[in-house]
Amino acid sequence: MGKIAVYPGSFDPVTNGHLDLVRRGLRLFDKVIVAIARNGTKDPLFTIEERLEMLQQSFNEMPGVQVDSFEGLLVDYVVKRQADAILRGLRAVSDFEYEFQMALMNRKLNKNVQTVFLVTGLRWIFISSSIIKEAARFGGDVRGMVPDIVCEKLKEKLGVP
């Protein structure tokens, strides 16, 4: 069996930065499972089903990617999927503290689960799901920063032209 990584997040919505990271992940892993945390602490704009659909469409031409969602602890999901590692992206030094804390907590919860960090492509380091939503909410053009399907869904959801 090949190497498997779980790339967890809220993906509300998925951005080109996430796509970039998954592409990089596929150079190291045979399969990347992009998994939405169902019990996230954020107040999401899109439902889980809407986010799954956007992920599915965004990754449908990328072999080796599987889209899923999970409830409960990430480390338990990683074991359930028989994955080898958690994949996370770093955009800037400011991401490091939070990511480091989360990786150590996950290791404390299950010492066999490793976290692999990859550096996001430079083009995408300023992007986050929140900043995309903020720009789109006020009619900003986010084409080229998110997959086309996300552009459409944002307009629909926010009722902007």
**Under a CB-based contact definition with an 8 Å cutoff, are residues 47 and 14 in contact?**
no
Range 151-156, long-range pairs (CB < 8 A, 24+ positions)? 153/13, 153/46, 153/50, 153/54, 154/13
- Cα dihedral 47, 38, 65, 11 sign: positive
Footprint (CB under 6 A) of ligand COA, residues 18-57: 18, 21, 37, 40, 42
Closest Cα partner for 132 from 104, 153, 105, 111? Answer: 153
Indicate whether 127 belongs to the interface with ligand COA (CB under 6 A): yes
The two structure tokens encoding residue 71: 């409830």
Q: Give catalytic residue positions.
A: 18, 42, 91, 129
Could you say which of 83, 124, 145, 147 contacts ligand COA (CB under 6 A)?
124
Indicate whether 150 belongs to the interface with ligand COA (CB under 6 A): no
DSSP state of 123: G
Minimum distance from residue 31 beta carbon to ligand COA (Å): 18
Could you say which of 62, 79, 92, 105 contacts ligand COA (CB under 6 A)?
105
Could you say which of 102, 116, 135, 149 contacts ligand COA (CB under 6 A)?
102
- Which residues sit at the interface with ligand COA, rule CB under 6 A? 8-10, 12, 15, 17-18, 21, 37, 40, 42, 73-74, 89, 91, 102, 105-106, 120, 124, 127-130
